[in-house]
Amino acid sequence: MPVKPGNVRQSHRYSVEVSQAGANTFYDSFVYEAIPRNGNGRIYAPTDAPYSNTLNATVDDGISIEPSIGLNMAWSQFEYSHDVDVRITTIDGSTLGGAGSVSIRPTADNLAVRDGGDGSVIIRVPAATNGYRFSVEFANDLYSFRSNGSDYVTSGGSVVGVEPTNALVIFASPFLAASDVPSMTAANTHTKTPGPTNNGDWGNKSILYFPPGMYYMNQDQSGNSGKLGSNHMRLGSNTYWVHFAPGAYVKGAIEYFTTAANFYATGHGVLSGENYVYQANAAEDYMAIKSDTTSLRMWWHDNLVSGQTWTCQGPTIAAPPFNTMDFNGNSGVSSRISNYKQVSAFFFQTDGPEIYTNSIVHDVFWHVNDDAIKIYYSGASVSRATIWKCLNDPIIQMG
């Protein structure tokens, strides 16, 4: 079932703690969890009851056996500047199997793992300017996906992939550079209050700031209350910077209208699409009606002017309902994307972000179920990208 509007889903399996390396003084690092279809089942409209099965049977949303096998994805993030020890334990009575059963991917990270002596495992994460983004996989938690040539099957067929049933991803993030933190004052910043977000609650100041806490869209476009998944934040034309504090969790999507030469999304918070249905169409009451033009993107700008640059440094997006980022209008846009994470992209067509002319992308983790690295333009650079790929389409798409 979906979680309550003001709550987040916590991992049912893992606990994560972090200590300065060798100090053995551990502090909790919250472990989020996401599940296929976000606990709603196959629904057509955001107001349909969970598991009412209103989505047309002919629509393939990219999810088949995953809910029945209990597939889920958990993640935890922290900021750091010194070597740290990350301790992982279970909270559901299961066993991890010891350090010898752990695989860390990318394997090129070559992180050291040891037993904690209490059933836990401890991973040493060195300080690094670029941080680390890695999955922790346990040999006793792997599921072999089998295919009959057209569909996943639970028996017969051929093994086409092996993944954790209870995925765990760790994001060890460097502190933001001063240039990636806006200079916030009462005059230039609209500071959100945790809780329900109604139409216009995002103001029209230059900066929109989300302090730690839970936020969720609570109205449809007409202002009717209690309509989860029936709206998104259409920012004021003066707003060019959205900043998330660590611990901010925002259930919604962001659409820019700024003509500023530089516009931004920064900070180590989470932007979650969990309340939206598959392919939520903003022009059709956010129902599951596919449109390459009006189905919702988590990051959106539909009226660019020449020479604009988007900087995205730090955020995590979770449970996107469709293509995760599209900017339309003038073709002279570019992006600067780094330390950007995408998780729980179980639906079909949950691509990575568009990579525009002369864009620079580095140090990212993208879980996708469609094109991952979308190089459609000239002069783009992508480095240190970790891709976790579902079944649909290529890792690199060139247009």
**What is the set of active-site residues?**
351, 370
Burial class (CB in 10 A: 0-12, 13-18, 19+), 335: buried
Closest-CA residue to 347 (of 36, 43, 11)? 36
**Chain-centre distance for alpha carbon 184:** 25
Length of the chain: 399
Q: Which residues of 375-386 are buried (b: 16+ CB within 10 A; e: fewer)?
A: bebeebebeebb
Q: In the numeric block, which tokens belong to residue 228? A: 């989860």
Determine contact, residues 46/280, Cβ cutoff 8 Å. Answer: yes
Going by C-alpha positions, the residue among 265, 246, 107 that lies closest to residue 172 is 246
Question: For residue 329, which of 259, 237, 393 has the smallest C-alpha distance?
Answer: 259
What is d(CA 74, CA 94) in angstroms, rounded to the nearest whole number? 16
Cis peptide bond N-terminal to 106, omega within 30: yes
Residue 367 identity (one-letter amino acid):
H
Helices (H) and strands (E) in the chain, counts: 1, 36
As a whole number of angstroms, the distance between CA 44 and CA 214 comes to 26
- 193 near 203, Cβ under 8 Å? no
Contacts 24+ apart (CB under 8 A), 161-165: 161/391, 163/71, 164/135, 164/137, 164/138, 165/69, 165/70, 165/71, 165/72, 165/141
Q: Quick check: 145 and 160 in contact, CB under 8 A?
A: yes
